[in-house]
Amino acid sequence: MLCEKCHKRQATVHLTKILNNKKTEIHLCDQCAKQNEAVAFDTSFSINNFLASILDSIQDSPIKVDYVKATKCDYCGMTYGKFKQLGRLGCSKCYNAFEEKLNTLIKRIQGSESHIGKIPKRAGGSLRIKNEIKELKIKLNDAVRNEAYEEAAVLRDKIKDLEKNIKE
């Protein structure tokens, strides 16, 4: 295919643009492409656009796209469509409202889904205790394996106390 502009050189840049449901195709050679503004990339590359494009590429969710777009956070009113546009969530409850799609996105950009860093004393209260129980249980198993029954009894009581704390 020859370049649409100079009609001399081979077209190497093929651009399909869809605007208001109208599709246009442009075929240009390297040199003409450099001078054509329509070919110049949308230069405002930002983390928001980047997130939006990742969101678009996530197709493995069982939820239909149209439904997801309409999903709204009850607390702040942010819609999933708006989040896609802004790249920013409206409030902490959006994490629940958009959970299904968002967790896939988070796993994709962060490579992980679980926090293992600092835990705040107030907000993370029960989590701190749960983590402590987990560690104590490992110690308890070790103690039992080593037949250190006195130590095991102390550990068992500690775990019971902590478990009571969570329930309260």
Partner 1 sequence: MTKWMQESGPDNDIIISSRIRLARNVEDFPFPVALTKGKSKEVAKVVSDAILQGKSTLRNDFELITLEEVSQLERQVLVEKHLISPTLATNYEKGAALLNKDESVSIMINEEDHIRIQCLLPGFQLDEAWDIANKIDDVIEEEVKYAFDENLGYLTSCPTNVGTGIRASVMIHLPALTMTGYINRILQAASQIGLAVRGIYGEGTEFAGNLFQISNQLTLGRNEKDIIGNLKDVTRQIIQKERDARSTLLSNNGIQLKDRVYRAFGILCNARILSSQECMKLLSDVRLGIDVGLLEDINIDNVNEIMVMTQPAYLQKIAGKALSSNERDIRRASLVREKLGK
- Site residues for partner 1 per CB under 8 A: 46-47, 51, 75-78, 86-92, 95, 102, 105-106, 109-124, 127, 130
Taking each helix axis from N to C terminus, what angle separates 99-110 and 47-57, rounded to the nearest 10 degrees?
110
- Residue length of the chain: 168
Least Å from the CB of residue 19 to partner 1? 26
- Smallest gap from residue 93 Cβ to partner 1 (A): 9
CA distance 93 to 161: 32
Q: Smallest gap, in angstroms, from Cβ of residue 75 to partner 1? A: 7
Tell me how far, at minimum, the Cβ of 154 lies from partner 1, in Å. 28
Closer to partner 1 by CB, 38 or 119: give it.
119
In whole angstroms, what is the distance from residue 164 CA to residue 159 CA? 9
The HSE-up count of residue 22 (CA atoms within 13 Å, CB side) is 3
CB-nearer residue toward partner 1: 77 or 161? 77
